[in-house]
Chains A and B, each alone.
Chain A
Amino acid sequence: MNKVQNNKAWWLVLPVFLLVAFSAVIPMMTVVNYSVQDIFDQSSRYFVGADWYKQVLLDPRLHDSLLRQFIYSACVLLIEIPLGIAIALTMPTKGRWSSLVLIVMAIPLLIPWNVVGTIWQIFGRADIGLLGSSLNAIGINYNYAANTMDAWVTVLVMDVWHWTSLVALLCYSGLRAIPDVYYQAARIDRASAWAVFRHIQLPKMKSVLLIAVMLRFMDSFMIYTEPFVLTGGGPGNATTFLSQTLTQMAVGQFDLGPAAAFSLVYFLIILLVSWLFYTAMTHSDANR
């Protein structure tokens, strides 16, 4: 067979190049552009090299919010993943109930972020909120607007309420994919419930769990709307996470240079941590 020697194939790849360029590369390059220059207006722009990066990396305000961000994401994962698995394990597998439960589980996922924030903002208010006033009525001093701990717990509970369903539904789909014969074999082998979980359910859920962990990490690491609506980042800076700090810097103070540098660092952190999770979970028990 004769090989056709021409460059026609490039035309076929071109649309993809264009799409990726306009959707990802060019916007990102403008950010890179801002991050290495000090721009006042169209005619006065100065190249500053890595100055903005140095400034951003040494900024204590950002250190604080980065630390808060990591603690927050860790809490989210530590609560939502085990809880999601536990819920998935107890969800009914067939009959009318299973459809009903699936629908109920999906509801929180369909509510827009700022609505979730508003719901909890009102729900948690110490004066008129059902949750807040009930807690105070039974003698627990609760006020998310004044107390750091209360604010944190409220933001976390809100996230758990909003997103545990996602983990549960993913795990549920993973569990449904396990053929009955595995459970039958386990019964014949007299496996305990724990052994069934450890040696059958968990390994078979691994791939969906990987997706769940990645999604929940990335989402929680980028969280903005809900705490912004609920606490506005307060009390003080107690619930000001990275994206809110970034917004303040870029839109509030209009420091586009440092904000651009910070955006790229932010992006790289997410990329790095996601890669770490991925590598850890796919190579945890390398082939022997």
Chain B
Amino acid sequence: MAEIHLQNLAHSYSPTPVGPEDYAIREMNHIWEQGGAYALLGPSGCGKSTLLNIISGLLSPSEGQVLFDSKVVNDLTPEKRNIAQVFQFPVVYDTMSVFDNLAFPLRNQGMAEAKVHSKVQEIAEVLDLQNLLGKKARNLSADEKQKVSMGRGLVRDDVSAILFDEPLTVIDPHLKWKLRRKLKQIHEQFNITMVYVTHDQLEASTFADKIAVMYGGQIVQFGTPRELFERPSHTFVGYFIGSPGMNLIEVQADAGGVRFAGTHLALSEVQQRQIAEKNYKKLQVGIRPEFIHVWDESTPDALQADVIHIEDLGTYKILTLNLDGAPLKVRLAEDKPVPEDRVSISFPAQWLMVYADDYLLEARP
């Protein structure tokens, strides 16, 4: 068990990296605390698996350090780091039985056979594999193989951390949910640091206490699911989390706030000052579809938008609007009156985020 500290870590697959685009992982500092359940969320190709392989020691980072409990482990092999990792596609030892598969990491450690037996039984019970213990691993279904694969990661309870690399990709949906619950239980029971890589926000938020969102080789935000939803610190987080994602409108600064086309949005003085501080290339405002206020009646001092499309999802409706040329998605509760072709909306100040060059301007007092 360990706290994992990534210090000035960067990795490039090219031996002579020139610009930032040559890096799979751009310089980062990050701490995974002992005993936490974390998710690493991001689209494919953002460097999630690379980061995971660096933590486990399958890959050696080109720059920076990995520390386990403040001990540098850069040069230690995965076996010395004592880490367990579960891969996206099931890896089982075909010629061995399920029992032997689960016992394999323990036997390699030189554990006494009696103890191996009880550990394997314990983990087989957790994963519902008792009936399959005598079966050859080769003859299992994809689900079962992945359970065995996970079992091999979970069977050692002395590990520093368990890393999951999209472990439920091949599992069918109803079992996915069950296995995720199992993982959560195991986490609560053994209190092992777990890092779970996924590109599915639902999977991330049901498993993890804190989520690290990765984009372009960087961790752009690290926080609870709620923080990611309410205050995305990067436009990518806003767009990636939530369904539909955050509305982002490109704007220019003007007196008292920002404007796009003929629409003026007032901002707080702090925000105005922050915008003026630096010469940003790109300014955007962002607001979640859930937080846009829709007036029941036409209200003259609100913003006026055209209704393009209405999608009824049963428990709520998604309106697609056109606000002065900017497309907007709005989530409308089922009991609200449905607007015809014009609608009055407003953006509550507390939910209106301003992004300068893709990063949130924190409204510091």
Contacts and interface: CB of A to CB of B under 8 A. Distances in A.
Interface of A: 179, 181-182, 184-185, 187-192, 195, 199-200, 203-204, 285, 287-288
B91 A181 contact: yes
Contact of B95 (A184, A191, A285): A285
B109 interface: yes
B72 to A, nearest CB: 20
A116 to B, nearest CB: 37
A283 to B, nearest CB: 13
A189 B95 contact: no
A203 B53 CA distance: 26
Contact of B104 (A179, A189, A203): A189
B83 interface: yes
B78 A187 contact: yes
Tell me what chain B mostly uses at the interface: helix, strand, loop, or mixed. mixed
Nearest to B110: A190
A249 B208 CA distance: 81
Query: Which A-B residue pairs are the 9 nearest by beta carbons?
Result: A185-B91, A190-B108, A190-B79, A189-B105, A199-B93, A203-B95, A188-B85, A203-B94, A187-B78
B136 A287 contact: yes
B8 interface: no
Contact of A288 (B78, B108, B136): B136
Contacts of A184: 53, 58, 78, 85, 87
A200 B93 CA distance: 6
Contacts of B153: 188
B283 to A, nearest CB: 44
B193 interface: no
Given A188-B85, A190-B109, A288-B139, A199 B96 contact: yes
Most chain A CB neighbours (cut-off 10 Å) among B78, B89, B96, B138:
B78
19 contacts: A181-B91, A184-B85, A187-B58, A187-B77, A188-B78, A188-B84, A188-B85, A188-B153, A189-B108, A191-B104, A191-B108, A195-B104, A199-B93, A199-B94, A199-B95, A199-B104, A204-B94, A287-B138, A288-B139
B215 to A, nearest CB: 25
B87 to A, nearest CB: 5
B56 interface: yes
Interface in B112-162: 134-136, 138-139, 149, 152-153
A285 B100 CA distance: 15
B195 to A, nearest CB: 14
A181 B90 CA distance: 9
A181 B134 contact: no
B87 A287 contact: no
B109 A181 contact: no
Contacts of B152: 185, 189
Contacts of B79: 187-188, 190
A273 B166 CA distance: 47
Contacts of B94: 199, 203-204
Contacts of A187: 58, 77-79
Contacts of B95: 199, 203, 285
Contacts of B136: 285, 287-288
Contacts of B97: 288
A278 B139 CA distance: 21
